[in-house]
Structure 1
Amino acid sequence: MKEPPWQTRWPERISYGLSDAADNLVFQMMTTYLMFFYTDVYGLSAGAVAVLFVVARIADVVESLIIGYMIDHTHSKYGKSRPFFLWYALPYAVMAVLTFVTPNFSSTGKLIWAYVTYLGLGFLYTAVNSPITSILPTMSQNPRELTLLGVIRQFCGSSVQIIVAVFTLPLVKFFGKGDQQQGFFWTIVVFSVISLILIWNTFLHVRERFTNREIAHQPLALVIKMLRKNQPWIIISIVIFLFWLVTAIKNQTTVYYFKYVLHNADLVPWANSFTLTSLIGVLLIMVLTRILSKKKTMQLGIIVELAGQLVLLAGVYTQWLPVLFLGVTINSIGNGIVVGLVSIMIADTIRYGTSMGIQAEGILASTDDFGVNMGLGLGGLITAGLFELSGYAPNQVQNAATLQMINLNYVWLPLVIYLIMFVVLHFYDDQRMVRAIAK
Structure 2
Amino acid sequence: MKDESKWQTRWPERISYGLSDAADNLVFQMMTTYLLFFYTDVYGLGAGAAAILFIVARVADVVESLIIGLMIDRTHSKYGKSRPFFLWYALPYAIFAILTFVTPDFSATGKLIWAYITYLGLGFLYTAVNSPITSILPTMTRNSRELTLLGVIRQFCGSSVQIIVAVFTLPLVALFGGGNQRQGFFWTIVVFSIISLILILNTFVHVRERFTDHEIAHQPLRKVVKMLRQNRPWIVISIVIFLFWLVTAIKNQTTIYYFKYTLHASGLVPLANSFTLSSLLGVLLIMRLTHHLSKKQTMQLGIIVELVGQLLLSGGVYLNLLPLLFAGILVNSVGNGIVVGLVSIMIADTVRYGMTMGIQAEGVLASTDDFGVNMGLGLGGLITAGLFDLAGYVPNHAQNAATLGMINLNYVWLPLVIYLLMLATLHFYNEEKMLLEING
1:65 Cα deviation after fit: 0.3
Structure 1's consecutive aligned runs of 4 or more residues displaced over 4 angstroms after TM superposition are none
Distance in structure 2 (CA, Å) of the matches to 1:180 and 1:317: 32
Instruction: State the one-letter code of the partner of 2:65.
Output: S
Q: What is the one-letter code of the residue matched to 1:119?
A: L
Matched, 1:142 2:154: no
What is the alpha-carbon distance in structure 1 between the residues aligned to residue 342 and residue 98 of structure 2? 31
Other-structure match for 1:107: 108
Contact 2:3 2:143 in 1 (8 A): no
Aligned to 1:435: 436
Q: Which residue of structure 2 lines up, in the alignment, with residue 257 of structure 1? A: 258
Q: Please report how far the alpha carbon of residue 281 of structure 1 lies from its aligned counterpart in structure 2 after TM superposition.
A: 0.2
Match in the other structure for 2:390: 389
Is residue 95 of structure 2 the alignment partner of residue 84 of structure 1?
no
In the aligned structure 1, how far is the partner of 2:336 from the partner of 2:5? 31
What is residue 182 of structure 2 aligned with on the other side? 181
**Cα distance, 1:66 vs. partner?**
0.2
SS in 2 for 1:235: helix
Shift of 1:168: 0.2
Task: For 1:195, give the aligned amino acid.
Answer: S
Establish whether residue 378 from structure 1 lines up as the match of residue 379 from structure 2.
yes
Does residue 121 (structure 1) correspond to residue 148 (structure 2)? The answer is: no
Superposed, 1:35-434 pairs within 5 Å as 35-434=36-435
Distance 1:34 1:343, change over 3 A: same
The SS at the match of 1:263 is: coil
Mapped to 2, the partners of 1:348 and 1:127 lie a distance apart of: 22
Q: Which residue of 2 aligns with 1:12?
A: 13
Counterparts of 2:14 and 2:167, CA distance in 1: 26
Task: Give distance in 2, aligned partners of 1:215 and 1:45.
Answer: 50
Cα distance, 1:4 vs. partner?
A: 2.8
Q: Distance in 2 between matches of 1:23 and 1:219?
A: 31
CA distance in structure 1 between the aligned counterparts of 2:320 and 2:187, rounded to whole angstroms:
34
The Cα shift of 1:267 comes to: 0.3
Separation in structure 2 between the aligned mates of residue 286 and residue 266 of structure 1, nearest angstrom: 36
Q: Post-superposition shift, 1:319?
A: 1.6
The superposition leaves residues 132-179 of structure 1 with CA deviations (integer Å, 9 ceiling, x where unpaired) of 000000000000000000000000000000000000000000000010
**Residue type of the alignment partner of 1:296:** Q
Q: What is the alpha-carbon distance in structure 2 between the residues aligned to residue 117 and residue 25 of structure 1?
A: 17
Question: How far did residue 3 of structure 1 move?
Answer: 4.4
Deviation at 1:320, TM superposition (A): 1.0
5+ residue gaps, structure 2, are none
Contact conserved, 2:3 with 2:142, CA < 8 A, in 1? no
Work out the CA distance in 1 between the residues paired with 2:286 and 2:66.
Answer: 29
Q: Distance in 2 between matches of 1:299 and 1:368?
A: 18
Q: Distance in 2 between matches of 1:399 and 1:296?
A: 44
Tell me the CA shift for residue 227 of structure 1. Answer: 0.2
- State the shift of 1:99 in Å: 0.1
- Name 1:24's counterpart in structure 2: 25
* 2: CA distance, partners of 1:35 / 1:403: 17
What is the distance in 2 between the residues matched to 1:52 and 1:225?
Answer: 34
Query: Separation in 1 of the partners of 2:70 and 2:135?
Result: 11
Letter in 2 for 1:221: R
SS at 1:211 equivalent? coil
SS in 1 for 2:138: helix
| Superposed displacement of residue 117, structure 1 | 0.2
Report the AA paired with residue 374 of structure 2.
N
What is the letter of the counterpart of residue 194 of structure 1? I
Rounded to whole Å, the distance in 1 between the matches of 2:86 and 2:434 is: 30
Q: TM-score, normalised by structure 2?
A: 0.99
State the distance in 2 between where 1:376 and 1:69 align: 22
Measure the CA separation in 2 of the matches of 1:200 and 1:319.
47
Structure 1 residue 290: Cα displacement: 0.4
- Post-superposition offset of 1:194: 0.1
Q: Return the alpha-carbon distance in structure 1 between the equivalents of residues 354 and 221 of structure 2.
A: 13
Aligned AA (1:353): G
Alpha-carbon displacement from aligned partner over 1:351-385 (angstroms, at most 9, x marks no partner): 00011100000000000000000000000000000
